Structure 1
Amino acid sequence: MAAAKHHGIDLDIRDFAAEPGEASPSPASLARWLNEQGAVAKGMRIKWRFLIRLQNTPPIVLMFRDGSAALMVRADPERGVVWLRDPLGDDGSTPVAVDELRLSQVWTGDVLLVKRRRDLSEADAPFDLAWFAKIVLREKKSLRDILFASMTLSVLSIFPALIVMQVVDRVVNYHSMATLVSITGIVVILSFYEVLLTYARRELTLVMTTRIDTRISLHAFNRLLALPLEFYEREQTGRVLGRYMALYKVRDFLTGRLMSTMLDMFTLVVILPLLFYMSATLAWMTVACAGLIGLIIVIFLSPVGRVYGRMIEAEMDRGSVLYETVAGIRTVKTLALEPTRRARWDEATASVVRWKLAAGRMANWPSTLVMPLDMFINRGIILVGAYLALQSSTGMQAGALMAFMMLGGRVAAPLVNLAKLLEEVNEVSTSLNEAGLVLNQPTETKALTTGMRPRIQGALSFSDVNFSYPGATTRALNDVNFDIPAGTMLGLVGRSGSGKSTVTRLLQGVSRNYTGYLRLDGIELREINLTHLRRSFGVVLQDNFLFRGTVRDNITAGRPGYTTDDVVRAARLAGAEEFIDRMPAGYDTWIEEGSTNISGGQRQRLAIARAVISDPKLMILDEATSALDPESEALVNANLQRIGKGRTMVIVSHRLSSLVDCDQICVMERGHVADIAPHEILLQRCEIYRTLWLQQNRHQNSAGRRRNDADADSLLVEGD
């Protein structure tokens, strides 16, 4: 943190999560975390002789064997010492000079280099062909080795054709056994080296493509996580997944067909000059046929591209139907919607089949037109060569003609593959555009990695806050003004659409394009680091998602460093301990996907435990009890007073009975604050609140009137 602070990056160690199985943070895990927080970090291992030369550099983190670390702030090669400072000490603390002998007793040899990110990195740059090219070019060493192996293999590929020429012209014609033995030895040696180099190139290519694939997958998924919640709310999930998966078509193209074709192109550099030397006429014929193949493919690029685009669109629609059906299978089964979903699937499948058939037919035309030219390269050239040999006494011999055919096939194949490669450009281009519609959306990366990290107390202040959802004609919030001190339990009530949940969205930083001022402890919310803000909140929603895993894993989600005592304390505070103890494996009980093996009330209490385990100073409960049965709701409400001690609580609820004990209740009406006061005061002066209260407590009022009537009747009887 001290090294990052030197570059103006303020970090919170509570945001760091070590890799599973790590006793102490490793340079790799620290570098990963720093890169996520907006820095550029790299862990590496260096020797003392290189460390001592690092002069006039920013602070360098040295990793020690006991899990601690130190900051190297200066080095003196002449004296053979480096100056170290305690990263947890004050910035003005005096560094200590350490020589090689003393440092070697505690230093692991690992260092962590940190600097501030000043330009668009791979994680922030737009996903396009330039981004993919940059990813590939990062493997310079592997590319250099593969290039060398490819060039060598191209040279070796000449010899089989030359050997055939010698066998036909020298061995067969002159019956020379000695020449055959010599050629056999050469063939064995060259074959051995060709097999060895081919294996090495395949291994290098496999390693490089795997590294590229890993880097693309990591960056793409991180970009997916950095997209704001608003994007997921307005986009269909099936389409988002379909467009994201289109990225892998681009990856397969770049690391598969394109790379193999480019490697084969090195053959042209070596073999093509030799073909022109052997027969310029036949060489020009080979090149001309390959050029015509490329021209045909280019002509069909545009129409094939349009059809491929419609086909991918139809496939994404079908994927959306599949995702919706699987995600909502409980509704499908309980309402017997199988025929409806089957009809929708049949319709989507018919569209896919129709466009796939159209795309296949369209692609079949260039393939058919190319076939005669391809056949001429493989079969016709030898006939032309034989004709030329018969017409001229100085023409090519039989062995030379066979050698030309062998080499011509090696030249024609890359040229034909390069021309056919253009067929895939349409699909890849369409896939790249589809993936860009998701991955090139504005992200929260800057808000997640920059901004202030104040100590949260929980005081809230809304000053003239206005907010409108995209495309809406009216404001969701209209000049909202109220202030509450830290430690207040605030209830938010109002009719549907009054703006209650919108207030909580702004507090969580889900929507940040509001006007006015929303302050947390006197600091404008948009100036606070978004990750720090959300980690400082505890949020419980109406329908909380539990991940497939154990009860313990769900309570500690995102907080892997918490102990069993922390988990038990959070469960007890949320009122979940009693039912967890009754489970077969207690806190190690497995929760199935969709939380099908626990009740709604149990799921809500686990969500509350997950929210309170980090002891947040501000908690938001958005309709957290509306879906609960009366018993579970009463249990959760009973725990709210205990949970709310020492922290600010913002509770959104339609059930006013659960908000009676709140310090303040804010009544929302059409996006503005109608009134804010405790329950008793609102009953007296707020017409909206009083109406809502009477509507929800009508049965109690009726029972009270019946009791009053009964008392009056008894008095009349006694009077008689």
Structure 2
Amino acid sequence: MEDVSFTLDPAAPGRSGAKGTNVTSQLHGAPTRCEQQPEMHARVLATVVAARFYGMELDPGEFRRAPGEETPSAQSLSQWLQNSGMWARALRLRWRQLMRLQDTGPVVLLFADGTAGLLTGVNADKNVIFLKDPRAPSGDNPLPVDELRLRQVWNGEVVLLRTERGVAETEAPFSLRWLFSLVMQERRSLRDIAFASLTLSFLTIFPPLLVMTVVDKVLTHHSMSTLSLLATILTIAVVFETLLGYSRRLITITIGTRIDARLNLHVFNRLLRLPIDYFERHPSGETMHKVMQINKVREFITGKLLTTMLDMITLFVLLPFLFYLNTSLAWIVLACSGLIAIIILAYLRPLRVVFHYVIRAETEKASVMTETVYGIRTVKSLALEPSRRALYDEQVADAGRWRLTYAKLANWPQTLVTPIQRFMSIGVILIGAWMALNDPSGYQVGALFAFMMLSMRVAAPLVGLARLIEDYEEVGTSVGEAASVLNRPLESNAASGGLRPKFAGAIAFDDVTFTYPGTKIPAISRLSFEVPAGTMLGIVGRSGSGKSTITRLLQGINREFSGYVKIDGADLREINLRHLRQSFGTVLQENFLFRGSIRENIIAARPGLTLEDVVRAARLAGAEEFIERMPNGYETFIQEGSPNLSGGQRQRLAIARALITDPRLLILDEATSALDPESEALVNANLLRIARGRTMLIVSHRLSSLTECDLILVLEKGCMLDIAPHRVLLERCSVYRQLWQQQNRHMEQPSRPTAVVQAIGHG
């Protein structure tokens, strides 16, 4: 076997320190050359070098250790890689598992002394791995290391990583076929269940056989010894069946839990990767109801489907034995079961059509409920309870009508099947008794009892299979509803791929035109402007002039525009979407706070930051004063919807959350509109400090908050009228001057009481 290895370029600087030299010497036999910056930890450097193999340039400054963590752990490194858009896992492996890593890229091995090395290849024939010091020059060859030498410094911790490039394009769509492939990932456990079911199927034959023997042999010959032997055998069989049944149920529960976890994670990840305009165009209640249809799918897969498949194993074992006991009665059982299946199949299509309307009515009902709860403040303030109640009553009635129609239709196959099932149980007894009376060979009564006991065990799986097909159609409809959300086009380049430059903050729009889907008039038209890095840019204009559209384009929320949007000269559509958004700090007019403490909300984008970082960001946002007045300070718990905070407090926390990542580009989109005058004055006073070292875009209707901006962009119906400092715009831009005069007229005219006093004086 050839050596499997590849070349790594550790061009990034870094150094680990004395401990790293000891490990390197122990493994390689000599110290390595070191040209790295002293502040980069060896484990961080190894991760950077490994990621560079995949074309991913990580910024070591973005790595954050977990609280109380002195040495970067495998979990922290893995989380850093995942946040950067890569697939990564922190694992503990053994030597034999390392031998299987032949077709992977570099693997980060974490040594016991806190340093790290890179596994760049393996040679299974020679039982060695090839290890490279991440600090070594790119020209140095990796050195072979055997198991004995590696065990002296390595305790099994590794970080596996790879790029997620192309995952969105190659991922199979959400469908029943995908769900079955998900189930087949548990092949080993399914094999164990199948073996247990096969064994249990054979054990089900024992009770009927014992009954047959007791009736035909024991009672006839009064054999007490045979009865004792049969009782012993039955006891052993029952104990074994009990233990085996417990094991099968335990494995089944485990499989169901795993499938449920994978399914929920897949659905949640797909939702996160949907573009934001989907959520803006579809009611949240409709989306949630459709997605929650996966619960029916999960119950079907881990419940009825698995149970029926296991029962079919019993069927294949028992059918031959039924024919052995009595061929004529066996054909009667099969004929009745087949007739039941035909009746159920005949109703499948009508049931599927009606169930589609049931789902649609339930979706509308859920949408009204969710919309009402979400907008309950508006409902209460405008006294809309009667109208919302009437609307919901109408939706409940509509859903109830379709539910009733579906139930009536589904009742017919059950009604037709019931007499056939009764005939299978009672008719077999009567026919068997008639055959026993008229069979000249003397049909054994014990065999009839055994056949009766086994026939119902055979009929149940056949009937269950027919009903499974009915449930399959219903589940197929549910899958279609969920797929209508989950199979929508995902955000392009959302997880990986694309450029990851370190931004300075220069922004340029070059002949950009954008029209929202479903409209004909462009939101912005042939817009061109440039601002250098570090500029504080104000954006003003009347409602609908395109102010917020500019910020949406910069964040990659809408990407179907003509022209070019560039950041530091790089086309925005070529930049990795996650990296782009992580580089922005954004504060909107309405900001959402998550359930949790104030500290957790502020560090949401960087969980590893310290309390000192939180306090610094809160102080800059003007939030420190009211946080410290709270009983628990930064640990004050925020309830869902943050009812224990005022609008201004929520806004200042959102500003602190945006500032704590120290973004190179900061967007304030009407960020101070919800603040009271005192809070707004506090934030405006800090604007220059906030803007230091970064590019800021401030969208505001209040021109007084933009006077300190380096440049102000004036928009009118999606077109740029002018871009200049405040004083220049007052002189040459009529629209800006008009807006300024409208908002500041009270500063130029005397107040009413003063005018009255003057008039009296003249009189």
TM-score relative to the length of structure 1:
0.93
Give the counterpart of 2:154 among 107, 124, 128: 107
Residue matched to 1:308? 355
Aligned length: 716
**In structure 1, what is the Cα distance between the partners aligned to 2:333 and 2:536?**
83
Q: Which moved more, 1:105-114 or 1:22-31?
A: 22-31
**In structure 2, what is the Cα distance between the partners aligned to 1:323 and 1:590?**
25
**In structure 2, what is the Cα distance between the partners aligned to 1:646 and 1:381?**
89
Residue matched to 1:486? 533
Residue matched to 2:707? 660
**In structure 2, what is the Cα distance between the partners aligned to 1:396 and 1:23?**
83
Give the counterpart of 1:225 among 257, 269, 272: 272
Q: Is the 8 A contact 2:163 2:496 kept in 1?
A: no
SS in 2 for 1:222: helix
Q: Is the 8 A contact 2:66 2:608 kept in 1?
A: no
Residue matched to 2:210? 163
Q: Is the 8 A contact 2:668 2:698 kept in 1?
A: yes
**In structure 1, what is the Cα distance between the partners aligned to 2:169 and 2:314?**
33
Give the counterpart of 1:335 among 378, 382, 386: 382
Q: Is the 8 A contact 2:130 2:142 kept in 1?
A: yes
**In structure 2, what is the Cα distance between the partners aligned to 1:608 and 1:428?**
45
**In structure 1, what is the Cα distance between the partners aligned to 2:418 and 2:71?**
63
Q: Is the 8 A contact 1:39 1:116 kept in 2?
A: yes
SS in 2 for 1:138: helix
Q: Which moved more, 1:399-408 or 1:334-343?
A: 334-343
TM-aligned CA distance change 1:369 to 1:712, over 3 Å:
closer
- The offset of 1:58, in angstroms, is 3.2
TM-aligned CA distance change 1:100 to 1:581, over 3 Å:
same
Q: Which amino acid aligns with 2:270?
A: R
- The offset of 1:95, in angstroms, is 3.8
Q: Which amino acid aligns with 1:476?
A: A
**In structure 2, what is the Cα distance between the partners aligned to 1:595 and 1:533?**
28
Counting only pairs closer than 5 Å after superposition, residues 184-203 of structure 1 correspond to structure 2 as 184-203=231-250
Residue matched to 2:591? 544
Q: Is the 8 A contact 2:648 2:676 kept in 1?
A: yes
Could you report, residue by residue, the CA deviation over 1:250-295 in whole angstroms, capped at 9, with x for unpaired residues? Answer: 1111111111111111011111011112222111111111111111
Counting only pairs closer than 5 Å after superposition, residues 632-651 of structure 1 correspond to structure 2 as 632-651=679-698
**In structure 2, what is the Cα distance between the partners aligned to 1:89 and 1:703?**
76
Q: Is the 8 A contact 1:36 1:449 kept in 2?
A: no
- The offset of 1:212, in angstroms, is 0.7
Residue matched to 2:644? 597
Residue matched to 1:559? 606
Residue matched to 1:675? 722
- The offset of 1:391, in angstroms, is 2.5
**In structure 2, what is the Cα distance between the partners aligned to 1:284 and 1:15?**
73
TM-aligned CA distance change 1:668 to 1:193, over 3 Å:
same
Q: Which moved more, 1:571-580 or 1:116-125?
A: 116-125
TM-aligned CA distance change 1:131 to 1:22, over 3 Å:
farther
Counting only pairs closer than 5 Å after superposition, residues 105-184 of structure 1 correspond to structure 2 as 105-116=152-163, 124-184=171-231
- The offset of 1:85, in angstroms, is 2.4
Q: Which moved more, 1:374-383 or 1:505-514?
A: 374-383
Could you report, residue by residue, the CA deviation over 1:662-694 in whole angstroms, capped at 9, with x for unpaired residues? Answer: 111111111111111111111111121111112
Alignment partner of 1:533 is 2:607: no
- The offset of 1:30, in angstroms, is 5.7
Give the counterpart of 2:482 among 429, 435, 439: 435
- The offset of 1:84, in angstroms, is 2.3
Counting only pairs closer than 5 Å after superposition, residues 195-594 of structure 1 correspond to structure 2 as 195-394=242-441, 396-444=443-491, 446-594=493-641
Q: Which amino acid aligns with 2:486?
A: L
Q: Which moved more, 1:504-513 or 1:56-65?
A: 56-65
TM-aligned CA distance change 1:93 to 1:502, over 3 Å:
farther
Q: Which amino acid aligns with 2:641?
A: G
SS in 1 for 2:666: strand
**In structure 2, what is the Cα distance between the partners aligned to 1:539 and 1:560?**
18
Could you report, residue by residue, the CA deviation over 1:353-376 in whole angstroms, capped at 9, with x for unpaired residues? Answer: 211111111100111111111111
- The offset of 1:395, in angstroms, is 5.4
Q: Is the 8 A contact 1:123 1:223 kept in 2?
A: no
**In structure 2, what is the Cα distance between the partners aligned to 1:88 and 1:445?**
36
SS in 2 for 1:608: helix
**In structure 1, what is the Cα distance between the partners aligned to 2:442 and 2:81?**
70
SS in 2 for 1:482: strand
TM-aligned CA distance change 1:460 to 1:117, over 3 Å:
closer
TM-aligned CA distance change 1:88 to 1:649, over 3 Å:
farther
- The offset of 1:81, in angstroms, is 5.1
Give the counterpart of 1:86 among 108, 115, 133: 133
**In structure 2, what is the Cα distance between the partners aligned to 1:114 and 1:452?**
19
Q: Which amino acid aligns with 1:387?
A: W
- The offset of 1:609, in angstroms, is 0.7
**In structure 2, what is the Cα distance between the partners aligned to 1:192 and 1:62?**
49
Alignment partner of 1:702 is 2:737: no
TM-aligned CA distance change 1:496 to 1:92, over 3 Å:
farther
Alignment partner of 1:688 is 2:746: no
Q: Which amino acid aligns with 1:163?
A: L
- The offset of 1:496, in angstroms, is 0.6
TM-score relative to the length of structure 2:
0.88
**In structure 2, what is the Cα distance between the partners aligned to 1:477 and 1:147?**
63
Residue matched to 2:32? none
TM-aligned CA distance change 1:334 to 1:78, over 3 Å:
closer
- The offset of 1:17, in angstroms, is 7.2
**In structure 2, what is the Cα distance between the partners aligned to 1:411 and 1:676?**
83
**In structure 1, what is the Cα distance between the partners aligned to 2:459 and 2:83?**
48
- The offset of 1:10, in angstroms, is 4.3
Alignment partner of 1:618 is 2:665: yes
TM-aligned CA distance change 1:253 to 1:80, over 3 Å:
closer
Q: Is the 8 A contact 1:37 1:450 kept in 2?
A: no
Could you report, residue by residue, the CA deviation over 1:318-371 in whole angstroms, capped at 9, with x for unpaired residues? Answer: 212221222222222233222222222222211122111111111001111111
- The offset of 1:112, in angstroms, is 3.8
TM-aligned CA distance change 1:50 to 1:335, over 3 Å:
closer
Unaligned runs of 5+ in 1: none
Unaligned runs of 5+ in 2: 1-46
- The offset of 1:48, in angstroms, is 3.0
Q: Is the 8 A contact 2:84 2:579 kept in 1?
A: no
- The offset of 1:54, in angstroms, is 5.4
**In structure 1, what is the Cα distance between the partners aligned to 2:244 and 2:169?**
33
Cα RMSD (Å): 2.8
Q: Is the 8 A contact 2:164 2:495 kept in 1?
A: no
TM-aligned CA distance change 1:25 to 1:160, over 3 Å:
farther
TM-aligned CA distance change 1:555 to 1:62, over 3 Å:
same
Q: Is the 8 A contact 1:123 1:219 kept in 2?
A: no
**In structure 1, what is the Cα distance between the partners aligned to 2:356 and 2:119?**
56
Could you report, residue by residue, the CA deviation over 1:382-429 in whole angstroms, capped at 9, with x for unpaired residues? Answer: 211222222321253111011111111111100011111222223211
Could you report, residue by residue, the CA deviation over 1:288-328 in whole angstroms, capped at 9, with x for unpaired residues? Answer: 11111111111111111122121122222221222122222
SS in 2 for 1:676: strand
SS in 2 for 1:518: strand
